[in-house]
Amino acid sequence: MHFHWIFQEGQQRADQRFLIDLEYRLRPRITRFLMDRLGMDCCEDFSCFHFEVDMVQREIRISDQTPERYTRLLCVDFQREISTDCC
Per-residue DSSP letter, 9: T
Strand ranges across the sheet with 2-6? 2-6, 50-54, 59-62
Number of compact structural domains in the chain: 1
pLDDT digits (tens, 9 = 90+) for 46-80: 999 999 998 888 889 999 999 999 999 999 999 88
CB of 31 within 8 A of CB of 46? yes
Range of the domain at 66: 2-85
Global pTM value: 0.85
pLDDT digits (tens, 9 = 90+) for 16-56: 788 889 999 999 999 999 999 988 777 778 999 999 998 88
